Structure 1
Amino acid sequence: MSLAITPLTPHIGARLTGIDAGRPITPAEVAAVEAGMDRHAVLVLPGQAITDGQQLAFTRNFGLLEEGANSTVRNAELRLAPTFADVSNLDRDGTMLARDNRRRMASLGNRLWHSDASFRAVPARYSILSGRIVTTEGGNTEFADMRAAYDTLDARTKAEVETLVCEHSLIYSRQQLGFSEFLPDERVSMRPVLQRLVRTHPVTGHKSLFLSAHIGAIVGWPRPEAMAFIRDLIEHATQPKFVYVHRWTQHDLVIWDNRTTMHRVRRFDDLNIVRDMRRTTTRSDGPTVAQEAA
């Protein structure tokens, strides 16, 4: 089967067929995926019944792996290898997490609009999410196009955001939901990092907003003013016309570019329905502040 890319919305998202993520892919196929990502920001590869090892091998085609994504889970509690973000509702024994389970409460932050690993000095490039067991009622993943969000700002706001730098931390996003059960060492590891509010794609040169629920401050601004402004920008960026809604089918493999998107998962009955999703992530090229300065 030849490779084919079919757009899913005018702004963001496309369906990619003709690649088997379970086998080694060629340099030409890697280049085709990257070109598709540069254009569409989100690619959906249906029918990819892959193992963890195959997902890792596929992900490594697109850069260095991010490890330790399960930031609020102790190693002894991990269900998957540290190279995976476990975004399921299962514990290491395959039992659904209780309502008051600490990992479950922390993971509710995934229901907020965010960019993966924006709370790290070197944020994420691609996220690759495999739908091993999916839900048919709820649990959709929504993606917002941060390029279109930037392009449609008025001239005054574009000038205002151009040089702003924000503080990002997992603590900020979790505190929005009332989760504050961070251990002392977690508070150290989750110290805020600085990211530009406007970033430039290294290949296309397209500017986009770098927004996330992980933002808790704008450097040099009073915090209430900063958070009100970020809220306004997120409302602008997540208008339905900028959003692709992915309704999962089993063995979908979805790739998105965190440099040009935000995303969130929608609510589902996670206390009674199993959802097993496994994410691998590659790292971006470096801190956004340093990149823009260069």
Structure 2
Amino acid sequence: MVQLTSVHPLFAAEAKGVDLRRSLADAEITAIVAAIDRFGVLVFRGQHLTDQQQVDFSERLGPVAFTRQMDRPGHRLRIDPKVGDISNLDADGEVMMGENRRRLDALANRLWHTDHSFRRTPATYSLLSAHAVPSSGGETEFADMRAAYDALPASKQAALAPLVAVHSIETSRAAIGFTDFTAEERAALPAARQPLVRTHPGSGRKSLYLAAHAGAIEGIPTPEGRMLLLDLTEHATQPQFVYRHTWNAGDLVIWDNRCTMHRGRDFDPTERRDMRRTTVSEVAPLLPQTEIS
């Protein structure tokens, strides 16, 4: 059965005693879900999953969403389209350099975010596996949004409770100067309304629901809303709320997007970093979406 060891005082744990390459019993899946509910981030070392094994395991946790691919239409994909290519490698397995579109878009992964909050039906879990890692750097940092919420004054919690944020993939990319979206891409990913505070269905805990994708708060002037989002992000990513994961090849890390944020860290761009992500989706939007044009 799964054995858990905390890796941070507030959240995140290393899970041992389970081989994710095999088909797990329902009781094992239930135990893993309960552990994610509790810790928000689970680290599985030495798994060395194939893409299909990662997809199979992910599908035990819920419906797997196709990850947005930033290669131009007609370009070959390096891996299964159900698996997001979070690497710095092109379709031939060579390191991407210079003006490569996917490389520039992916730089926004170094901003604090939660996966798929820009989609009207957002993500529950993300599963990221390491196939090749650079000699240094390239860590992933996670922030516990439950602890960050708990640390707010009660008056602030009450003020945030009814607020709705507008999330868009264009917002996070504009923050780094990336605006190279086609009309088809813009139409496929319209802005999404998301609650600023969420209650986790498994743990019952409230958390801030933030991301670099959020660019406005409904009912608040845009500059004021953005300043609120920046202030909350600064609060939520203080060192006491953050776990930094240093990757080894073969690691699989699962995180719950409903109660954490994360960001990638810098590394030597000439070195290979082959990371592959599957993303499990909610089954429906959290809020009505018809008000967004």
Alignment of 1:210-225 (within 5 A): 210-225=209-224
User: CA separation in 1, counterparts of 2:163 and 2:79?
Assistant: 37
User: CA separation in 1, counterparts of 2:134 and 2:95?
Assistant: 14
TM-score by length of 2: 0.95
The gaps in structure 1 that reach 5 residues or longer are: none
1:166 alignment counterpart? 165
1:273 alignment counterpart? 271
1:289 aligns with 2:287: yes
Alignment of 1:242-261 (within 5 A): 242-261=241-260
Shift of 1:204: 1.6
- Secondary structure in 2 aligned to 1:289? coil
Shifted more, 68-77 versus 259-268: the winner is 68-77
1:69 aligns with 2:40: no
2:47 alignment counterpart? 48
Identity across the alignment (%) = 48
User: CA separation in 2, counterparts of 1:221 and 1:179?
Assistant: 26
- Which amino acid is 2:281 matched to? R
- Which amino acid is 2:206 matched to? K
- Which amino acid is 1:86 matched to? D
1:37 alignment counterpart? 36
1:234 alignment counterpart? 233
Shift of 1:286: 2.5
Aligned 8 A contact 1:135 1:248 in 2: no
2:291 alignment counterpart? none
Aligned 8 A contact 1:174 1:180 in 2: yes
User: CA separation in 1, counterparts of 2:20 and 2:226?
Assistant: 41
Cα 1:72/1:166, change in 2 over 3 Å: farther
- Secondary structure in 1 aligned to 2:65? coil
Shift of 1:71: 5.1
- Secondary structure in 2 aligned to 1:128? strand
Q: Which stretches of structure 1, 4 residues or more, deviate above 4 A after TM superposition?
A: none
- Which amino acid is 1:278 matched to? R
User: CA separation in 2, counterparts of 1:75 and 1:117?
Assistant: 24
- Secondary structure in 2 aligned to 1:245? strand
- Secondary structure in 2 aligned to 1:89? coil
1:189 aligns with 2:191: no
Shift of 1:284: 1.8
RMSD value over aligned CA atoms? 1.2
1:205 aligns with 2:211: no
Shift of 1:155: 1.8
Shifted more, 88-97 versus 77-86: the winner is 77-86
- Which amino acid is 2:232 matched to? L
- Secondary structure in 2 aligned to 1:76? coil
2:57 alignment counterpart? 58
Q: String of CA shifts for 1:71-124, please: whole Å, max 9, x gaps.
A: 565363421222111100001111111121111000001000000000111110
- Which amino acid is 1:20 matched to? D
1:124 alignment counterpart? 123
Alignment of 1:56-135 (within 5 A): 56-70=55-69, 74=73, 76-135=75-134
- Secondary structure in 2 aligned to 1:166? strand
User: CA separation in 2, counterparts of 1:204 and 1:75?
Assistant: 44
The gaps in structure 2 that reach 5 residues or longer are: 289-293
TM-score by length of 1: 0.95
User: CA separation in 2, counterparts of 1:114 and 1:68?
Assistant: 15
User: CA separation in 1, counterparts of 2:185 and 2:2?
Assistant: 44
Q: String of CA shifts for 1:228-271, please: whole Å, max 9, x gaps.
A: 1100000000011011100001100100000010000001112x
Shift of 1:152: 0.7
Q: String of CA shifts for 1:182-223, please: whole Å, max 9, x gaps.
A: 111112122211000001111221111000000011111111
- Which amino acid is 2:17 matched to? G
